[in-house]
Amino acid sequence: MAGGAIVPSDGPATDYGGSLTLSVFMSCLVAASGGLIFGYDIGISGGVSQMEPFLKRFFPHVLERMAAAKGNEYCLYDSQTLTAFTSSLYVAGLVASLVASRVTRAMGRQAVMLMGGALFFAGGAMTGAAVNIAMLIIGRMLLGFGVGFTNQAAPLFLAEMAPSRWRGSLTAGYQFFLALGVLTANLVNYATSRASWGWRVSLGLAGAPAIVIFVGALFLTDTPSSLVMRGRPEKARAALLRVRGPDADVDAELRDIAKAVEASRQSDDGAFRRMATRRWYRPHLVLAVAVPAFFQLTGVIVLTFFAPLVFRTVGFGSNAALMGAVINGAVNLVALLLSTLVIDRYGRKVLFMVGGIQMAIAQVGMAWIMGAKIGKSGEAAMAHPYAVAVLLFTSLHTAGFGWSWGPLGWVIPSEIFPVDIRSAGQAMNVSIGLCLTFVQTQSFLAMLCSFKYATFAYYAAWVAVMTVFIALFLPETKGVPLESMGTIWVKHWYWKRFVNDDGKTGVALT
């Protein structure tokens, strides 16, 4: 029995000639806007967490603890209760992602995006109207379910819809909208921070990006791979004609999709079990774990969540800290725009290398300045020029992430898996990412209090490790059609020992 998609390994990858049509562009634009949901929540949480009216209403004891911690700048915001407000969403997102794979396979990518948008809208409405902790937590859980479903479906939709020549740029659109959501949230926080009810506006406006993805998804057709998988080949062909244009070899692409789907139906056990137990899925399994883990260990997630709190730690005032977060978000957005211009020209690995070096330098710079100017005890006040330098190094780190791990952390998992394990692989990517997001958001402020400036050296070391890993173990996927992705493993210096068992086709035989 063959395992995985059946693809030739002794010839070039197929190019079906699909063009960048208006239909595929608009479809990918709507799907990528699902990133607004995740990005808005990432940006909104840290700003709201330092708003005094919000803390007085829900976490009054945190204000007392903050006052008692004035002697140690690193521990100014150390509170597990406060971080629980942010991290609780990701527990719900993790639960949603564990079931999202089956739901996506059964109902299609479009339906799951609709579900995610509806759940996120309900969560935004409840948190914005919250009058007690119970409403706040339930609302956060609904937001988490929305994030879990949307993160599962939208990247798959993008990868399966986009022509191979533009797949990197179009799939990176998800991270672009995520960054746009972060920047929008930072601007909203800055605009509403002076009002006693500002936190309600910040949290309630989460419904706006949810409406965008929900309404947009109503007008989308599902992906050809999903339609074939659910027994609708004619609709799949119509979808291909619509998004590829008249010059594409639609029938050839549809045949390859059908072959890949048929191969996926030949196995009786589940996709997760196949990934874990079958030798020829070893590279997919390793990267399904490594990519989301390294994505989180860049440190950018916690810096984005807690940017206002970090800037307060180094001496900025409340409004200046929020403006620092706005600047950081704007840098991320610009870097992502640059990445979309080069990701399909220079390839994935070059961006990984450049971004990794840049992030490591920035993290070391932050650690050095904070160690020298705040000290180990955290009792020294940092002079304003050095606080600005921390902001500059933070922006340098964010820019490096923005044109490397930011988009590629979504692009790579969405394109490396064969169709039979694609939903499972993406579910693993999302669930590991959300699990580590929960762990990091829950522990970062305590880690900053305990490790102090060495926190940033810790992340710099991980960036060095992940850059070496990518250089050695990630094959280049630029321009390779999804149905021909098996060729990259057959030719790789290390992974070929797992996927080339028969010596000819690149498909291991049982």
Angstrom CA distances, 307 to 43, 368, 451, stand at 9, 18, 17
Estimate to the nearest angstrom the gap between the alpha carbon of 492 and the chain centroid: 26
DSSP 14: P
According to the 3-state scheme, what is the secondary structure of 216-253?
HHHCCCCCHHHHHHCCCHHHHHHHHHHHHCCCCCHHHH
Choose among 413, 196, 189: nearest CA to 322: 189
DSSP 270: -
DSSP 508: -
Determine the pLDDT at residue 265.
65
3-state class (DSSP) for residue 509: strand
Angstrom CA distances, 447 to 336, 377, 461, stand at 29, 14, 16
Residue carrying the six token digits 């990517």: 429
**How far is it, in rounded angstroms, from Cα 468 to Cα 306?**
28
According to the 3-state scheme, what is the secondary structure of 58-82?
HCHHHHHHHHHCCCCHHHCCCCHHH
| CB-based contact 300:401 (threshold 8 Å) | yes
**How far is it, in rounded angstroms, from Cα 87 to Cα 67?**
23
Identify the sign of the CA torsion 275, 277, 282, 288: positive
How many Cα atoms within 13 Å fall on the side-chain side of residue 186?
A: 31
| CB-based contact 160:226 (threshold 8 Å) | yes
**How far is it, in rounded angstroms, from Cα 151 to Cα 145?**
10
| CB-based contact 72:378 (threshold 8 Å) | yes
Q: Is 229 exposed, middle or buried (0-12, 13-18, 19+ CB in 10 A)?
A: buried
**How far is it, in rounded angstroms, from Cα 175 to Cα 154?**
11
Find the radius of gyration of the CA atoms of the chain. Answer: 23
**How far is it, in rounded angstroms, from Cα 126 to Cα 498?**
49
Q: Over its length of 510 residues, how does the chain's per-residue pLDDT go in tens digits?
A: 333 333 333 333 455 666 677 777 888 888 888 888 888 887 887 778 778 888 888 878 767 766 665 556 667 666 666 677 777 788 888 888 778 777 887 888 888 889 988 999 999 999 999 988 888 888 888 998 988 888 878 888 887 887 777 777 777 778 788 888 888 988 998 898 888 888 999 999 988 888 988 988 888 888 888 888 888 888 888 888 887 777 777 888 888 888 877 766 655 457 788 888 888 899 999 999 999 999 988 888 777 767 776 777 676 766 777 788 888 889 988 998 888 888 888 888 999 999 999 999 999 998 898 888 776 665 666 778 888 888 899 999 999 998 899 889 888 988 888 877 887 888 888 888 888 888 887 787 778 778 888 888 999 999 999 999 999 999 998 888 877 888 889 889 999 988 864 433 334 333
Number of H helices, E strands in the chain: 25, 0
Choose among 180, 221, 232, 148: nearest CA to 426: 148
Choose among 257, 263, 266: nearest CA to 228: 257
Q: Is 208 exposed, middle or buried (0-12, 13-18, 19+ CB in 10 A)?
A: middle
**How far is it, in rounded angstroms, from Cα 463 to Cα 4?**
32
Q: State the angle between helix axes of 282-297 and 454-473 in degrees (0 to 180), rounded to the nearest 10.
A: 150
Determine the pLDDT at residue 202.
92
Determine the pLDDT at residue 41.
82
Identify the sign of the CA torsion 268, 271, 273, 275: positive
Residue carrying the six token digits 């139906």: 265
According to the 3-state scheme, what is the secondary structure of 289-358?
HHHHHHHHHCCHHHHHHCHHHHHHHCCCCHHHHHHHHHHHHHHHHHHHHHHHHHHHHHCHHHHHHHHHHH
CA angle 139/142/148 to nearest 5° reads 140
Sequence-distant (6+) residues with CB within 8 A of 392 are none
3-state class (DSSP) for residue 2: strand
Neighbour count for residue 157 (Cβ, 10 Å)? 31
**Identity at 297, one-letter amino acid code:** L
**How far is it, in rounded angstroms, from Cα 459 to Cα 344?**
28
Tell me the two tokens of residue 113.
Answer: 């995006």
Choose among 414, 412, 405: nearest CA to 109: 414
Beta pairing partners, 2: 509
Angstrom CA distances, 139 to 30, 86, 128, 143, 350, stand at 25, 12, 9, 6, 41
**Identity at 122, one-letter amino acid code:** A
